[in-house]
Structure 1
């Protein structure tokens, strides 16, 4: 199972802290921990006073002093009033801290994930690239909540330890051991007993609970797989039903869920084993301080009040020292979640160097109005040997020169299409592209963000960049004028519209953005031939200077002025052919 070295955890934590310090929201983020330090430190002071009050109360009871007893009750009410205010303040700081810390971490991950090309390239990053939504959504929430809870708990335990260890050391002087004719004291006797007791419990908790770290990390990965499988069935339910594939999906989901359940059982067994230590250690702690301080009490050096103060101080020191024992399962969970978050963050920051041992296509900005291909070979997915390349070693395309890219397979054409988009850099050669603002790429299935139709049509531009007249004209041009009344209607448009309507609406973006270059990857394959002809006629009429580069056979050959033939072969064969 996964075992993360402590040094690695500290390095990962330090990376996050440095990123937080560089955030423009750092002031708001740092205010809350500072406030927590003040509140917890003040709470420690009043806990000492409460412990001393306990001694005075028991002395009053032992002496049958009613007046002192009544006075101590009034002191108790004042102490509890202050402690209640501190607890409420700490609860507010804790909950607000969770919200703000999650807000920062989620935005940080989103910023890293949605930098140009990274969301696409992450899919080729192995296990880390699977279900990034789970890490950004659920893992980020879980990590921030655990971090705040554990951070506050560790701070409180540390301050309590520093506050009460001195009290316990002084009281240890009153524990005298009598042996025959001699008597002696052990400096810090009760302190050493508390340290020994907590150390034994901490070692046992670490020994038994260490496997929980790897189990938690694996559980989150399998939970994400199960969630992704459920979402896929829900999104493609129509196809599943048409294929009558409900039983197959049920079997697949059951197998996926079985992995979740198997890990859950292992975790349950591990937590039960850890509970033997934590609970047993806790129950024994109720009697331990009385047994340890008994020689001083029965020897007459400690009054009942002093005994209770010593017991209270011992418990505070022991609870502070056994914080690790009580929170080991949470710490294991926190370390596993931190590992998943940092693995994603590190992968995103390193992704441009993914497969750096392979050759990379060199991209540059071509002179205005042209697209240049120089000895380009695009490696096919999963292979550094097989690739797709044009038969001509150098190709220069000019504006209005509509181009069809043909190949032996859909895979080679799609890979070449992604290379033109700059999303598939693995290969050889150079590609000179027009300015990014002059290009628009249309995949086979267009993407529509959830929201009003105007937002879906304007994507990726801001919907406010265009007027209602612009939207109405674009919809009318592509034959979807009946949707003009739905511009403000919010929907999942990729689910409400048929694939044909989606492709037509995606093509309609061309008339809003008016690019100089349009790249199509079977982008009109679901549109009937008659409608395709009408769309292309409108394109020529309105955007005559725009160039279409298409990898699909959905548009008739007569539309194109030039054809680029791709060859699918081994890299060595292409190099040899180019040398002849």
Structure 2
């Protein structure tokens, strides 16, 4: 188990900001993005279409008055004329709806592109992907957040933004119409007809505010419950992917039943989260559906005194009712969309939470208390000053406080099992900072690190051996020569073949390919940690000879024991020390 206190501390110290803070941060980051201009023109186009659509709605509202008046008067010519007028209105509104759909979908695409690329830029900054593994729950499942949550956030933002702007514009357009039409709603009091200024507007506002307040009170838990569900879904997805990647090992151990139990537990957690959300939604439906049913009759009920008093015609009543419905439907946008708003807030929290944790890693990498200070060495060597490695269950250090490995040396660092050799390997790469002292090291581009299990990107064999550079940088003949030098000449004709090389090749072939990568890149320093663990003696010797063919190469190998191989020029011991043997460790 890894001690993550230092690395996790930055994320643990973060208190979740509010929604408006998150939105402000997103907009601030977007200012410097090339997507900003595209999104601006798309949003402007969408707003123009929505404004035109609202104008069409006002046109439709006026048509309704004339249409129902023609019905009431049994005026056939007027009725036919209004029927043809409706065809023009419907055609115009249909065109605008199609245009609105296109603009909204384009905004989703561009917005997702920006959110995803922004997170990828943050995640794949130097060392962040590694440090994030120690960030705990706050940094869990970044793949889910970058892939699925960014898509969901973009879609919800576009849909909710378009509907909110439309509802707001509809409100401002029809509230004036409804205010004027309210003059037609008159009450008979003492034989006199009396109107209340803006009567229908106040009724619509009161009705919508009541529904919104109830919706917020009942539906607020859905925000946290949505976030919990996404977290459980991500855990299940990770477990399923892991089983697929480890199918061979699971089968060899006969562990299918155990994996089935593990996945069942994770899936049960997903079902519990879904059940909680279902209960939330059921409670909320009492409010939203009840509100919707009442909305059918409330405008007629509150406007009926004007109709029965004879102050307005049937067409006038329908105009008032339609205007009321437009105003109250705009005001009840919050009621109608609350489940999606809760979903949007939960998704925004997950996406921005990942961004916050990644940013905090840069400021909290050293953790609390002493830490290893890694510095680039202008003299192109590894030097240790007062170095001590902090491990989860102890400490380790060299026999002397000052150790230097100069260019041209081939050094073997030897330590017993669990002494911290892999953590030292990570410290040499600048990844592990728990401990104390100073490590001077060459610039990263001058060092090739070879772990026990090498990494190969998705792509061709040429891309695998050329990583992290582009395959086009190297001649095909150079790639084939590197393969041949490590005993993989049989793959020379497959350098353009795209495959999962981490699956197609056995572990010993993967380790040989990693050495071929070192030969191809010809970096002055090679640092190895168990890089030949799967090789036999003949293969091991061939790898060392391949490295020895590189002029002036310096090698550091971390191993459990010294076999007296004369290929190495020096042996340095790494020893575990007790707390009583350490002074000033705090």
* TM class, shorter-length: over 0.9
Secondary structure at 2:184's aligned position in 1?
coil
Q: Which residue of 2 aligns with 1:359?
A: 370
| 1:484 lines up with 2:509 in the alignment | no
- C-alpha deviation, 1:571, in angstroms: 5.7
Question: Cα 1:294–1:309, aligned 2, differ >3 Å: closer, same or farther?
Answer: same
Q: List per-residue Cα deviations over 1:136-165 (Å, max 9, x = no partner).
A: 000100011000000001000000000001
Among residues 194, 198, 202, which one is paired with 1:192 in the alignment? 202
* 2:251 matches 1:241: yes
Are 2:64 and 1:54 equivalent residues in the alignment?
yes
Of 157, 162, 165, which aligns to 2:172? 162
* Residue 494 (str. 1) matches residue 502 (str. 2): yes
Q: Does 1:368 align with 2:376?
A: no
From 555, 561, 585, give the equivalent of 1:548: 555
How much has 1:563 moved relative to structure 2? 2.1
Corresponding residue SS for 2:420: helix
- 1:177-576 to structure 2, matched below 5 A, reads 177-354=187-364, 356-381=367-392, 386-410=394-418, 412-540=420-548, 542-553=549-560, 556-558=563-565, 559-569=567-577, 573-575=581-583
Assess if the C-alpha contact under 8 Å between 2:419 and 2:575 holds in 1.
Answer: no
**The residue matched to 1:515 in structure 2 has which SS?**
coil
The answer (yes or no) to whether the contact 1:370–1:433 under 8 Å persists in 2 is: yes
Q: Does 1:41 align with 2:48?
A: no
Higher alpha-carbon deviation: 324-333 or 173-182: 173-182
| Cα shift at 1:10 | 0.4
Distance 2:564 2:286 in 1: 75
Distance in 2 (CA, whole Å) between partners of 1:143 and 1:466 is: 41
- The 8 Å contact of residues 105 and 140 in structure 1, kept in 2 or not, is answered as yes
Aligned length: 571
- Residue of structure 1 in register with 2:3 after alignment: none
1:570 Cα deviation after fit: 5.0
Q: 1:548 to 1:533 in 2, by over 3 A?
A: same
- What is the distance in 2 between the residues matched to 1:488 and 1:72? 69
When residues 411 and 113 of structure 1 are mapped into structure 2, their CA distance, relative to the original with a 3 A threshold, is: farther
Cα RMSD (Å): 1.9
Contact 1:400 1:545 in 2 (8 A): yes
Of stretches 567-576 and 344-353 in structure 1, the one that deviates more from structure 2 is 567-576
Distance 2:389 2:362 in 1: 17
Q: Report the Cα offset of residue 203 of structure 1.
A: 1.1
Deviations 1:534-576 (A, max 9, x none): 2212321x11411111112488442322222223235663236
Question: TM-score by structure 2 length?
Answer: 0.94
CA contact (8 A) 1:524 1:554 kept: no
Aligned equivalents of 1:199, 1:294: Cα separation in 2? 22
Give the Cα–Cα distance (whole angstroms) in 2 for the partners of residues 257 and 191 of structure 1: 50
Please report how far the alpha carbon of residue 73 of structure 1 lies from its aligned counterpart in structure 2 after TM superposition: 1.6
> Residues 113 and 390 (structure 1 numbering): CA distance in 2 closer, same or farther, change over 3 Å?
same
The answer on whether the counterparts of 1:94 and 1:148 sit within 8 Å (CA) in structure 2 is yes
TM-score w.r.t. the length of structure 1 is: 0.95
Deviation at 1:184, TM superposition (A): 2.3
Contact kept? 2:35, 2:110, Cα under 8 Å: no
Distance in 2, matches of 1:468 and 1:168, equals: 76
CA distance in 1, matches of 2:41, 2:576: 60
How far, CA to CA, are the matches of 1:404 and 1:49 in structure 2?
85
CA displacement, residues 292-341 of structure 1 (integer Å, 9 cap, x when unaligned): 11000111111111111111101111110111001100000000000000
Compute the displacement of 1:521 (Å): 0.9
Separation in structure 2 between the aligned mates of residue 447 and residue 538 of structure 1, nearest angstrom? 20
Distance across 2 between alignment mates of 1:320 and 1:291: 20
Q: Is the 8 A contact 1:523 1:552 kept in 2?
A: no
Secondary structure of the 1:124 match is coil
Partners of 1:9 and 1:569 in 2: how far apart?
A: 49
Q: What stretches of structure 1 of length at least 5 have no aligned partner?
A: none
Are residues 6 and 204 of structure 1, via their aligned partners in 2, closer, same or farther at CA, if it must alter by over 3 Å? farther
Which structure 2 residue ranges, 5 or more long, are not aligned? Answer: 1-13
Q: 1:220–1:374: structure 2 CA closer, same or farther, 3 Å change rule?
A: same
Cα deviation digits, residues 33-60 of structure 1 (max 9, x gap)? 1111111111111101111101110011
Alpha-carbon distance, 1:279 to partner = 1.3
Superposition deviation, residue 82 in structure 1: 1.4
